[in-house]
Structure 1
């Protein structure tokens, strides 16, 4: 057994680990925060990061104690809308929004997180002895694979254009209700887009409200994220993704039935607003939910050194924890992260499909670890 579950269901507040990071080996810590970096020095570091990413479009946006510094550039010709005002596809980084939405629904007493997902989707279905709950789906401990077993067959005809669009909501739900986990839910961790997609449909069914409306009502509107949405609008509003070569444009991402797992689009400024709320929950419209998504809920791997919250990967530094999540679509990449110890948030975005030995995530991660 390599996963240590710190909370079996999503209670409010979700209990953390009393030892917190005391048992994490020092060798796993990426480094201490840099002190005294000036605005000019930070700007130069962002310029260097954008150049090193070498994408058609890239934006690195940093907030330190509420003061924002952004830099954008790239090999593609500039568009009529400045790069830092475009909306970018977040891919799996959308799960940070999903986790916060569920935390807020729990905070408001609309859900507990312990609801069996199958019962939400099919109330007439007999509940199993060890059902997959909403908590299991969110924390990747449901036992579901990364994608449904028949996803690749169905997606193959549109593999380079819109593979997820070939797998709509009904198929996601049907595949989940057919699936039989190979082990008891809540005992092992396996990252699953499938599971978080099911979560969105289960929550929508349980509340009688479409996922897009739930996200808007419980996260986007309270945090004043007016430039964040689940649907594409057009080239004057949305950044255009590119293939691995950095030259071939790809269509806007269609998440199909995987909205909760990867459909969010947002501007760099909206992403900084989102991350700043995590840095200072007490000053936001969602203080309880934001504190919940910062709390460790499971550890995994040898020595249980990999720490997860409801919504974030959590790594230690010498000064305090660093929270982050990455994501990718067919033609774009995103990295979101924040450090309460230094009051720093980072949103990094680029318009090139992930490729082997791609430097984007490493550059963004190391920048956040050093700020």
Structure 2
């Protein structure tokens, strides 16, 4: 495929200038507290068996752990946690790296990547549409729920394999023109992963590992249970019933990442300082800058801003980038603020179904600093 030079065709760009670097924080902390005190309060506010809040501020890391469950044999901050939909930030960074390196264009039709003999057609769904949730695809394929019922309380995604995700996309009749509406879609980002693998002739694990995980030194991050690190055990909404390790079927690019808190901080610190020592590849540094640029606005008064990989909300002093995620028994929150050189990775081993104190606590902590 011949790369096109327009970076995000079909997605209205909201920003094209240079991004400012992360700045040292000179602002006092809320209520005159210290970072350890704020993190301890955040851990105590989350009613989950295992809770970890890890914060990097001006390059200095502080980690606090706790929880209502019996402490595991491995320190909580050394376990590997399922981060669910926060995995999409890794997929967005991968797409940006492939685009910045000239390997492919975000304007490529996804169907052509999956089936080169297929005509693109009029107004095709592009890779850019998929990563920005403007493809017109629903949250999940129409036949997903029926297939997921037998394992709904254990592993609902396991029964929907790679080939079925691809076939469902290629067979689907389009309801609306791509780029005309924002609608969050696990399905769309799953299709994106398969399209990137097909376009590069590289299995997903090898593609993400070779282009993102290894260049950033994320040795405690994988896409499957087991391996060099111990996996955290998730729990259902009651906080006591354990859940099995997540198996995502054909939705790897939408939610398969599991990582240790130190790795998650390394990932976020690379976004704070794209030109810092972490990226081993210059195109990855360019990609880290690219995923911070807003590409669309939505909502009342277009107040909700999205980049290629992150939600962006304003604070009193600068933008905050964040993404949360959940599996059947675990939750994660990733966020960073370049204006104060601060990043936060928070994880817990409980799935909150109604009053989500975890995300509210993590969001409020980072936004209020």
- Tell me, yes or no, whether TM beats 0.5: yes
Whole-angstrom distance in 1 between the partners of 2:43 and 2:313: 24
The answer to whether the 8 Å contact 2:169/2:191 transfers is yes
Whole-angstrom distance in 1 between the partners of 2:96 and 2:273: 16
Counterpart in the other structure of 1:363: 361
The one of 9, 30, 36 equivalent to 2:28 is 36
The answer to whether the 8 Å contact 2:234/2:329 transfers is yes
Whole-angstrom distance in 2 between the partners of 1:259 and 1:364: 25
The answer to whether the 8 Å contact 2:216/2:266 transfers is yes
Is 2:83 the partner of 1:85?
Answer: no
Q: CA deviation at 1:107?
A: 1.2
Whole-angstrom distance in 1 between the partners of 2:98 and 2:45: 40
1:16-35 to 2 correspondence within 5 Å?
16-17=14-15, 35=27
Is 2:221 the partner of 1:233?
Answer: no
Counterpart in the other structure of 1:335: 333
Gapped runs of 5+ residues in structure 1?
A: 1-6, 21-32
Number of residue-to-residue matches in the alignment: 352
The answer to whether the 8 Å contact 1:9/1:112 transfers is yes
Q: CA deviation at 1:181?
A: 2.1
Task: Give RMSD over aligned pairs.
Answer: 2.2
The answer to whether the 8 Å contact 2:130/2:191 transfers is yes
Cα deviations by residue, 1:70-92 (Å, 9 ceiling, x for unpaired): 01111111111100000100100
Is 2:111 the partner of 1:118?
Answer: yes
Cα deviations by residue, 1:189-242 (Å, 9 ceiling, x for unpaired): 000000000000001001000111111111111110000110110796110000
The answer to whether the 8 Å contact 1:80/1:236 transfers is no
The SS at the match of 1:71 is strand
Cα deviations by residue, 1:80-107 (Å, 9 ceiling, x for unpaired): 1100000100100000000001111111
The SS at the match of 1:288 is helix
The answer to whether the 8 Å contact 2:80/2:229 transfers is no
Gapped runs of 5+ residues in structure 2?
A: 19-24
Whole-angstrom distance in 2 between the partners of 1:167 and 1:34: 49
Whole-angstrom distance in 2 between the partners of 1:131 and 1:235: 42
The SS at the match of 2:339 is coil
Whole-angstrom distance in 2 between the partners of 1:45 and 1:51: 10
The one of 253, 261, 285 equivalent to 1:287 is 285
The answer to whether the 8 Å contact 1:322/1:339 transfers is yes
Distance 1:279 1:150, change over 3 A: same
Counterpart in the other structure of 1:141: 134
Q: CA deviation at 1:173?
A: 0.5
The SS at the match of 2:334 is strand
Whole-angstrom distance in 2 between the partners of 1:76 and 1:162: 23
Q: Which moved more, 1:360-369 or 1:71-80?
A: 71-80
Whole-angstrom distance in 2 between the partners of 1:57 and 1:185: 41
The one of 158, 170, 184 equivalent to 1:191 is 184
Q: CA deviation at 1:134?
A: 0.5
1:126-275 to 2 correspondence within 5 Å?
126-233=119-226, 237-275=230-268
The one of 21, 40, 47 equivalent to 1:54 is 47
The answer to whether the 8 Å contact 1:50/1:71 transfers is yes
Q: CA deviation at 1:19?
A: 9.5
Q: Which moved more, 1:138-147 or 1:125-134?
A: 125-134
The answer to whether the 8 Å contact 2:220/2:228 transfers is no
Whole-angstrom distance in 1 between the partners of 2:320 and 2:356: 22
Counterpart in the other structure of 1:322: 320
The SS at the match of 2:340 is coil
Q: Which moved more, 1:359-368 or 1:280-289?
A: 280-289
Calculate the TM-score normalised by the size of structure 2: 0.91
The answer to whether the 8 Å contact 2:7/2:99 transfers is no
Counterpart in the other structure of 1:348: 346
The SS at the match of 1:297 is strand
Whole-angstrom distance in 1 between the partners of 2:161 and 2:7: 28
Whole-angstrom distance in 2 between the partners of 1:281 and 1:235: 27
